[in-house]
Amino acid sequence: MPTSRVSPVAESPAVAVSGLVMRYADKVAVDHLDLTVDRHTITAVLGPNGAGKTTTLETCEGYRRPQQGSVSVLGLDPQRQRRDLLPRIGVMLQDGGAWSGVRAMEMLRHIARLHADPLDVDTLGERLGLGDCGRTPYRRLSGGQQQRLKLAMAVVGRPELVFVDEPTAGMDPAARRTTWELLEEMRGDGVTVVLTTHHMDEAERLADWIHIIDHGQLIASGTPPELTRGGTSTIRLVVTKPFPEGAPGSLQEALGHRLDVRTISEVSLLITGPADSTTLATVSGWCERNGVLPESLHLGQRNLEDVFLELTGRELAGRGPAT
């Protein structure tokens, strides 16, 4: 499915953020942030709730004016050159975007009529599984159906660059895979995709490049293999009830300095380092001595979620206040 009208001029990045500062009263949401998004890629921007990623992307989309620093999107200023930029980008909003009483396909047709050369609405609707719910009012759509409609609205105008926020939230596995395939096809057609997601497997599967933001600053960038490289093993210990007081320190002492014990939640610990079968035996023995009943004990290689925990000390949890 052809999806875009890609400009032949591709020397500059699709998105360039330089020294961006954004504040809410006394809170610094974005702190001298620098990042770029190369054209014709899927780039994931990840961060814990409150990290500043939503504010950053809303500034790139032209919804907010930079308080300090600069933002360039497709070589244009999202504020001063907004009229020139809007026909060339698509935005999948986190919330809203459609009237509560409008029928799904009516909304998609309305958005298509706003563009000079839209995709075929029926084909796109069928591809994203909107055919069966096309006459259902937006407010009665399931969360996954609303997400599919918002994605269709973002891409129907054949954008050169599309921002997609939590594109598969609430979707069943089949719809999620269809969405992944559509985004990959768009990249193949030359579209640049900027993705935010709370699903680490989604970022690891789709992204050519990943930026991780925390406390308004860029703390890591790279391809998924680059970020997870290093051969570090991990052990995930999940128990049936909260750990006793001092458990992480006690387990750390049992394992020694070559491994690191980090608390994920009151019932889950992450152990990283050169782990092997002896390490598993040590963890099991510690559980027995401390009256801890494991629900699961898994040894594996470090993945993107492990890297995220190591860098931020926080899980990439579900949605919270957007900042």
Sorted by where each begins, the domain ranges of the chain are 2-225, 232-301
Burial of 238 (0-12, 13-18, 19+ CB in 10 A): middle
pLDDT computed for residue 134 by the predictor: 78
pLDDT computed for residue 321 by the predictor: 46
Question: For the residues 58-81, what does the mean pLDDT come to?
Answer: 97
Q: Which residue has the higher pLDDT, 114 or 135?
A: 114
**Residue 230 above 70 pLDDT?**
no
% pLDDT > 90, the chain:
72
Please report how many Cα atoms fall inside a 13 Å half-sphere around the Cα of residue 21, on the Cβ side.
9
SS3 category, 85: helix
Is the separation of the CB atoms in 191 and 43 below 8 Å?
no
Q: What is the mean pLDDT of the chain?
A: 90
Tens-digit pLDDT profile for residues 171-218 = 999 999 999 999 999 999 999 999 999 999 999 999 999 999 999 999
pLDDT computed for residue 231 by the predictor: 57
CATH number (1.10.1060.10, 3.30.930.10, 3.30.420.40, 3.30.70.1560) of 232-301 reads 3.30.70.1560
In terms of CATH, what superfamily is 2-225?
P-loop containing nucleotide triphosphate hydrolases (3.40.50.300)
With CA atoms as reference, report the closest residue to 145 among 156, 154, 157, 136. 136
SS3 category, 154: helix
pLDDT computed for residue 181 by the predictor: 96
Q: How many angstroms separate the CA atoms of 206 and 198, rounded?
A: 13
Residue 216's region, left for phi above 0, alpha for psi from -120 to 50, else beta, is left
Residue 264 binned pLDDT confidence (cut-offs 50, 70, 90): confident
Burial of 2 (0-12, 13-18, 19+ CB in 10 A): exposed
Question: For the residues 125-136, what does the mean pLDDT come to?
Answer: 88
SS3 category, 20: strand
Tens-digit pLDDT profile for residues 275-317 = 788 899 999 999 999 999 999 988 887 788 888 888 887 655 5
